[in-house]
Amino acid sequence: MRVAIAGGGLAGLACAKYLVDRGYQPIVLEGRDVLGGLVAAWKDEDGDWYETGLHAFFGAYPNMLQLMKELGIENHLQWKQHTLIFNQPEKPGVLSRFDVPDIPPPFHIISAILRNNDMLTWEQKARFAVGLLPAVIRGQQYVEDMDRYTLLEWLQRQGIDERVNSDIFIAASKALTFINPDEVSATITLTALNRFLRERYGSKIAFLDGSPTERLCQPMVDYIVAGGGEVHLNKPLKEIQLAEDGQVNGFLIRGLNGAGDEFISADVYVSAVSVDVMKVLLPSPWKCVPFFQQLNGLEGVPVINLHLWFDRKLTDVDHLLFSRSPLLSVYADMSNTCKAYADSDRSMLEFVLAPAKDWINQPDTEIIAATMEELKRLFPQHFGTDQPAQLRKYKVVKTPRSVYTASPGRQSYRPAQVTPINNFFLSGSYTQQKYLGSMEGAVLSGKLTAKAIAERSHSLGSNLSKSSSEKALV
């Protein structure tokens, strides 16, 4: 059975991988000239990689880790020391660490909080630890119920003071969702905290040993093709065409560079594009269907990823760092953290600028100028001298609509992978699954979509669509 999948990000590729495992023939159609979606990466004119985002992998990503194991590429992850590292703006150049001991949960995280003496007083640490107890004791249902509050409102309800918010949660919120605690749903951050508290190595961080395109996406493509599937680039979905009965008749693919449009027919169809693109492509007859109307409650958040190459080493830290900057979210010196980007003499810093809504339309030069001002505070030893570090080159990657904006109440708008249309399914981290709008959420959504296709095919049998012999690639 042929399954046409529009979108070659992690959700679309994961869906195709798990369909191959079930004996289906997936055909992945990616609109751009590169796979990966929100984890896409490119090489510049010098052969250096730059990426859509700063991609950190957590121990609390079971579906991603299982996928990499099944592909035989788990050795592509470079695991770092089990710690969380924050900059201290009031002490420029000084880092504060939450070292997580190798003891049973949730005591490992509580111990890390209590042993940190740089950022919080004992009273604040006690309030912080006590405030987290409901998420531990009452579980995920409690976490889901907190979607009616912003994270800041939840902190206030728990008696956790503003110092904890400003020192820890602003940085964590921007890192996880690209927006601030007064805008983000409490459910999102609590979901992550709940995983970290319940899993011994949930908060442990790894980086890929190279670009996501080469080290993650390409192995998925190789697996899909070896299993009889297909993966095509430069195949943007132009229209979802319907049959008289309201089912999907085919995908119309926009022709590029003067080529004509293509009509692709299959037995089953999957949209693995972003929610914003899906809303644009939604066929008119579907717009009055309540299931599809809920998509109007979701919208992607703007994100900017920055890459800055310097003429010298700025840091020897081999880890993800929370900048605690009003402009920047998290960063890493990729010359330390990533084997393929290694440079013993010069740094390449990769930053996430968040929130990005006020910067997404600004010129790259202004964004870099503002970033350099922040770096003077983060690295005074390198920029406050007579011979400051020099910026050799930079890349600014703007994503006007990234993962869905995780504001309060959005959980109820997230659709299931199964739609009211028998031969049409959704995939993407915005769909219903227990993780955030993240790499883990994208992979899990793809797995759930493949499972849903198999279950619906089994229940409907030959009535799902026309037989495979009647399908053709025109």
pTM for the predicted model, two decimal places: 0.94
Instruction: Encode pLDDT of 364-398 as tens digits.
Output: 999 999 999 999 988 999 997 889 999 999 999 99
Beta-strand relationship, 25-29 and 49-51? unpaired
Instruction: Encode pLDDT of 12-34 as tens digits.
Output: 999 999 999 999 999 999 999 99
Q: Which residues pair with 349 in a beta bridge?
A: 308, 333
Whether 137 and 265 share a structural domain: no
Say how far apart CA 372 and CA 374 lie, in whole Å. Answer: 5
What is the model's pLDDT at position 464? 61
Q: Which residues pair with 230 in a beta bridge?
A: 27
What is the model's pLDDT at position 463? 57
Q: Which two tokens stand for residue 425?
A: 């399914």
In a domain, 85, yes or no: no
Mean of pLDDT over the chain: 92
Say how far apart CA 417 and CA 5 lie, in whole Å. Answer: 13
Provide the terminal-to-terminal Cα distance of the chain, rounded to the nearest Å. 17
Whether 288 and 324 share a structural domain: no
Q: What is the 3-state secondary structure (H, E, C) of 70-135?
A: HHCCHHHEEECCCEEEEECCCCCCCEEEEECCCCCCCHHHHHHHHHCCCCCCHHHHHHHHHHHHHH
pLDDT tops 80 at residue 471:
no
- DSSP state letters, 191-222: HHHHHHHHSTTTT-EEEESS-HIIIIIHHHHH
What is the CATH classification number for the domain harbouring 269? 3.50.50.60
Whether 295 and 308 share a structural domain: no
End position of a domain, from candidates 176, 200, 224: 200
Q: Which of 124-128, 261-265, 336-340 has the lowest mean pLDDT?
A: 124-128
pLDDT tops 60 at residue 67:
yes
End position of a domain, from candidates 366, 382, 399: 399
User: Which amino acid, residue 243?
Assistant: A
pLDDT tops 80 at residue 462:
no
Residue 145 belongs to domain spanning = 100-200
Instruction: Encode pLDDT of 68-109 as tens digits.
Output: 999 999 999 999 999 999 998 778 888 999 999 999 998 999
Beta-strand relationship, 2-6 and 268-271? parallel
End position of a domain, from candidates 139, 166, 200: 200
In a domain, 68, yes or no: no
